[in-house]
Amino acid sequence: MIETANDRTGRALYLWHLLNLSSEDRMLRFAGQMDADVIVKYVRNLPDTDHLFAYRHGTELVGFAHIGNLADGRAEIGFSVDSEHRYRNIGYKLFKYCVDFCKIRGIDTVYTFCLPTNDAVRRIVSRAGLQLNDHDPGEAVALGQHPDIMAYYNVLGNQYWRNVYDVNRHFMRSLNFS
């Protein structure tokens, strides 16, 4: 079951979820290393305009998704699932929920960053109907418009994605993440 987690309690649970990911899982979630202190700063600095969603299996919170950068018809989606609850379609359900959430709000372009070796996220993104743009050896970017809005496309050039990457890198550096 997916539920909104935008209040103070939801953010605390999101922080708890991220801190309980293994270092390898943090690498997969953020496409880079994230220490605990950086994760705390990251969650504390989430804008109020961002959206958090929790996936509950019974009484247990087993996954989270985050939609950020809701501007100019674009949004970034990040998600993670506890390791013991993987391979149950939870990641796909969270990601697809976020894509549909964006579509309803007029956001027609979504993207996510993942390592090129993160086959699970790559499959989820493709299954949701987005194209993977392997423009940089260090990451893969999923982008596209939801098929219900418009046909698949990849018209944004590499310069746009390099700008997005630079903004994210600057944000991470502001949190003392290099």
Q: DSSP secondary structure string, 120-150?
A: HHHHHHHHTT-EEEEEETTEEEEE---TTTS
Whose structure tokens read 């674009």?
74
Question: What's the confidence (pLDDT) of residue 134?
Answer: 61
Q: From the CA atom positions of the chain, what is the Rg in Å?
A: 15
Residues 108 and 104: their CA atoms lie apart, in Å, by 9
pLDDT at 149: 31
Task: Tell me how crowded residue 50 is: count the other CB atoms within 10 A of its CB.
Answer: 16
Q: What is the mean pLDDT of each run of 10 residues along the chain (178 residues)?
A: 91 95 90 89 92 92 90 86 85 92 84 81 84 56 42 32 43 43
33 touches 11 (CB < 8 A): no
**pLDDT score of 133:** 67
pLDDT of residue 160: 38
Q: What are the residue boundaries of the structural domains of the chain, listed by start?
A: 2-174
Tell me the whole-structure pTM to 2 decimals: 0.75
Tell me what pLDDT residue 120 has. Answer: 87
What would the CATH number be for the domain defined by 2-174?
3.40.630.30
